[in-house]
Structure formats: structure tokens, C-alpha cells
Amino acid sequence: MGLKVAFVDFVFENREAIRLEGCEFTIHPPLRTAADLIAAAHDADILMMRDQFGRITAEVLAGCPRLKLIVTRSAGYDHIDLAAAQARGIVVCNVPDYGAHMIAEHAFALMLAVARNVCRGNARYRQERRFDDTGLGGVELYGKTLGVIGTGRIGRHSVRIGKGFGMQIMAYDVAPDERLAAEQGFQYGSLEEVLARSDFVTLHVPLLESTRHLINSTTLAHVKPGAILVNTSRGAIVDTAALKEALANGRLRGAGLDVLEDERTVYHDFGDLNVVITPHLGWYTEEARDRILQISLENVRAWIEGRPIHRLV
């Protein structure tokens, strides 16, 4: 009998490609509750999941005593209690890089949509049946300063794309890569300096305790008046209440958000503020979908062969 694999949160993958020698897969739709996860994986050796639905807590792990490997089909892993998994001797792997460029591309899609009133103009024509540009004047990217918060895989692509638009780049990172800065022709500064000098700010940091509400009422007070903020990282990086206040009082011209706090359970009403929201689409391309599955299956194969890769614990 092969290893039992509970493949949960199936939405869009090619079902025929979910196969691996020595494994027996059961495929489940998105699961959000501990009870549902336990029901799906109680007798599984391996759990393959996404990061947008359920959470792997100590309770879930206790209800799945046979689990030996968890593979999250995502770069983010804040939905898994790593300490609890490690305590039970469970290996946890992720997909650290499946093409960071597409998330940076989406950040600029949001940036342009907000800066040039793309969604407002589209809504006016389609909903109000008016071909009218009144009040829809935008701002340009060319010659402006882009603040990149986090210069990891995704942030680096944002630097490259920003330079392609003719933007000046500033960056903030807890571990500045001065070699990258020299190669790409930008400079690092403190978070406050970057916020104060940037016309556009794009967030590319992981969600950690140190980055939760990194953008809050205090840091937003440093923002250059009229700047545009884009978040394609994690919703909790931004304090939503503080963001709304900064938008309402004109500190920020607008915001492009691909992620929100409690995005699956809470509706955040931004009213008529200049905000463009997409439902966590930054990663979602046909090409990335296939890469994620391939890398996830390779994680399982490598673990079976005794050489785990992309290991978190």
C-alpha cells in the first residue's frame, strides 16, 4: 500500500497531474475548519494544502496522528504551527519560489489602476453608461520615486520593473543587500525615510510578528502626502483602520490591495475612497499554477527519497 496523501484546498489544479509513484491521493475542496481538516487527513501520511483557507494548529495535528509530512503549496507558511509540527517530528516544506515576477507584475497593475483611475473609469462607462473623464485625472509613474519595502525575490522584481518605468528607487529592508543596490542603482534608507520620500510604496515583506501592522498610524504619518500604497504581501502588514484614515484625510492618494486583514471572513468597506482591491490574485497565473504543483510534488518525492527540500522544520 502506498503513502496516503490528503490533497486539500483543490480549486484549479490539473487533476490529472496530481499523481506520484508510491502515493495514493484523496482530493478535497477548500477546507477551513479544524474538524474538516482532521476528517480529510486523519489517516494520511502526507498533507498537501494551500495557505488561504484552513490553519494547521496543534489541534489539527493531534487529530492526524499518522502525519509525517506537510507540504504547503505556497511561499507563505504563517498558517502552520511550525513549533507544534516540529514537536511531533513532522517535516514541513513550502514552495519558496514559483516565479516572484508575477506578483511584482500584479503590484504594478494595481499601482497603475489606482494612479490612472482605471477601475473608476471602467465603472463609470459600464455602470453609468458615461464616456466621461471628469474628475479622473491621474498621476504618472515616470520620474517619480518608488519605495520598495522588502527586497527579497519579489521586491527585486519590483525594483527592476520600476526602473523600466523610469522611476527612482528607494528601498527598506532589515537586511540591506548593498550589492543589489549597487547593481540596480538604488539606495536603502530607514522605513521612515523611504515612506517620506516615495510617491509610490509597494510592500513585499513576509508576515512575522515584527512586520504585523508595519504600516500603521505612526508610520503612515511619515508618508509623503499624496502617495499611493500597494500591498501584495499579506493583509496584516497593514493596519486597515489606519489605512482608511490616511485615505480619508488625503494623506494617501489611493491604495491597491491584493490582500486584506481577515480577507476570507471580513468585508472591509472602503466606500468611495480611491482603493482598488483584487482577491489575492498576485500569484494566480496559469504558468504559476502549474509550477506550484510541480514543485509541491517534487517536495514529496524528495522527502520519500530521504532528501527533503524547501524544508521549514
Q: Which of 234, 251, 253, 310 is catalytic?
A: 234
Rounded Cα distance between 199 and 242, Å, is 19
- Output the 3-class SS for 19-71: CCCCEEEEECCCCCCHHHHHHHHCCCCEEEECCCCCCECHHHHHCCCCCCEEE
Helix (H) or strand (E) holding 275: strand 275-277
Could you confirm whether 234 is annotated as catalytic?
A: yes
Could you confirm whether 222 is annotated as catalytic?
A: no
Q: Which of 50, 157, 280, 310 is catalytic?
A: 280
Could you confirm whether 263 is annotated as catalytic?
A: yes
Q: Which of 50, 73, 253, 263 is catalytic?
A: 263
- Write b or e for each residue in 17-47: b if 16 or more Cβ atoms lie within 10 A of its Cβ, otherwise e: ebebeebebeebeebeebebbbebbeebbbb
What residue spans of the chain are helical by DSSP H?
A: 34-41, 58-62, 82-87, 101-115, 118-128, 153-164, 178-184, 191-197, 217-220, 240-248, 286-304
Dihedral, 182, 184, 185, 191 alpha carbons, nearest 10: -90
Rounded Cα distance between 147 and 264, Å, is 28
Task: Tell me the catalytic residues.
Answer: 234, 263, 280
